[in-house]
């Protein structure tokens, strides 16, 4: 992993200003909104019950197995942050599961989006992450906006715990307050992207199955290896502003073309004009 990174802005991050949230709030409490502005994260307890968590685990299982089979064929059985000996990362599960599409449009999650993002929001990304027992590699310090540079930079991540997440099995650790600086510089490593972070001053965020950790795409976070003998599982749902675009670097390092984040099957609208939308069922989804 090399030497530690300095805490410095991404080269494309010019003049970012964090906007505090004033309310009124319909889903989050004023204290939760204040924590989000101050720290970049908070926890919603008990959003999903045991039967809902069990159904989500069943729904992610086929996608997890497909990724496991793919990793088994690769040299070293790893691809970036994913690895058979570290964590199985299964993205785009809404392309095959109506249940998970409904989870992404859950009233509480969409209510959080309305309170913290505004009236027009769509799904940006979702993935299951199953951190393997006795893991060989952590998830390094990163911001979600460090993997793909999205504008506006400040989108929202809802990290749904499908098992209890503890310091021993790799719960979220976050750098409080750093989100207010915008996107930091990242580098690519053999086990994923990495930005500045400090485990000595980080905040550990243990949660129970069914809880949701809500954090900004600009909050540096990491997870340590799972030192237990059981899997730690989470389903991660991210929401962007309608009209958001993603950029990758051109050969000279400048921002490449803006790519709209509006793929109809996996990036469907969840809020339009402040009104929550039901996800289009897979059978009726328009082809991309």
Assess whether pLDDT exceeds 90 at residue 3: no
Among candidates 229, 237, 175, which has minimal Cα distance to 204?
Answer: 175
CA within 13 Å, CB half, 120: 7
**What was the pLDDT predicted at 251?**
87
Please give the residue range of the domain that contains residue 229. 33-266
Render pLDDT for 7-21 as a digit per residue (tens, 0 to 9): 999 999 998 999 999
Q: Cα–Cα distance between 86 and 166 in angstroms, integer?
A: 16
Q: What tokens does 165 get?
A: 């997440």
pLDDT category of residue 288 using cuts at 50, 70 and 90: very low
Cα distance from N-terminal residue to C-terminal residue, the chain: 38
Asked if pLDDT for residue 283 goes beyond 60, the answer is yes
**Whole-angstrom distance, CA of residue 101 vs CA of residue 84:** 26
| 72 is a domain residue | yes
Contact present, 244 and 93 (Cβ < 8 Å): no
pLDDT bucket at 250, cuts 50 / 70 / 90: confident
pLDDT for 287 beyond 90: no
**Domain CATH code at residue 170:** 2.60.120.620
- Domain-embedded: residue 278: no
114-141 pLDDT per residue, tens? 999 999 999 999 999 999 999 999 999 9
Look at residue 151 and tell me if it is in a domain: yes
Domain presence at residue 256: yes
Question: Is residue 159 situated within a structural domain?
Answer: yes
Mean pLDDT within 92-119: 98
pLDDT score at 111? 98
Residue 284 in any domain: the answer is no
Is residue 281 a part of any domain in this protein? no
Residue 20 in any domain: the answer is no
> What is the C-alpha to C-alpha distance for residues 35 and 17, in angstroms, rounded to an integer?
17
pTM (whole model) above 0.85 = yes
Distance CA 27, CA 44 (A): 10
Which of 197, 188, 248, 233 has its CA nearest to residue 218?
197
Identify the pLDDT of residue 2: 52
Computed over every residue of the chain, the mean pLDDT equals 95
CA angle 6, 7, 12 (to 5 degrees): 105
278 pLDDT tier (thresholds 50, 70, 90): very high
What residues contact residue 261 under an 8 Å CB cut-off, 6+ apart? Answer: 122, 124, 150, 240, 244, 245, 246, 267
- Tokens (6 digits) for 288: 């991309």
Q: What pLDDT is stored for residue 124 in this prediction?
A: 98
At 175 the pLDDT is: 98
Q: How confident is the model at residue 171 (pLDDT cuts 50, 70, 90)?
A: very high
As a whole number, mean pLDDT of residues 74-96 equals 96
**Share of residues in the chain with pLDDT > 70 (%):** 97
Number of independent structural domains in the chain:
1
Q: What is the largest CA-CA distance in the chain?
A: 52
* pLDDT given at position 1: 45
Q: State yes or no: pLDDT of 95 exceeds 50.
A: yes
């Amino acid at each position: 992993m090399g030497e530690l990174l300095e805490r410095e802005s991404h080269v494309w991050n010019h003049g970012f200003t964090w906007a505090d949230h004033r309310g009124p709030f319909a889903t989050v409490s004023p204290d939760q909104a204040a924590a989000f502005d101050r720290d970049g994260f908070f926890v919603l307890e008990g959003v999903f019950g045991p039967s809902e968590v069990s159904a989500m685990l069943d729904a992610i299982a086929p996608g997890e197995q497909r990724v496991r089979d793919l990793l088994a064929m690769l040299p070293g059985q790893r691809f970036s942050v994913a690895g058979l000996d570290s964590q199985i990362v299964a993205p785009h599960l809404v392309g095959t599961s109506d249940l998970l599409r409904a989870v992404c449009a859950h009233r509480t999650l969409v209510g959080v989006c309305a309170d913290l993002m505004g009236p027009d929001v769509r799904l940006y990304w979702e993935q299951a992450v199953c951190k393997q027992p006795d893991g060989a590699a952590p998830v390094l310090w990163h911001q979600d906006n460090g993997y793909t540079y999205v504008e506006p930079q400040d989108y929202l991540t809802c990290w749904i715990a499908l098992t209890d997440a503890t310091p021993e099995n790799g719960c979220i650790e976050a750098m409080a307050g750093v989100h207010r600086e915008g996107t930091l510089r990242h580098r690519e490593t053999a086990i994923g992207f990495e930005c500045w972070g400090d485990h000595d001053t980080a905040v550990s965020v243990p949660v129970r199955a069914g809880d949701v950790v809500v954090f900004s795409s600009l909050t540096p976070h990491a997870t340590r290896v799972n030192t237990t003998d059981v899997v730690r599982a989470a389903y991660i749902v991210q929401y962007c502003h309608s009209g958001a675009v993603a950029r990758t670097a051109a050969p000279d390092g400048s921002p490449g073309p803006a790519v709209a984040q509006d793929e109809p099957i996996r990036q469907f609208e969840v809020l339009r004009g402040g009104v929550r939308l039901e996800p289009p069922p897979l059978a009726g989804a328009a082809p991309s």
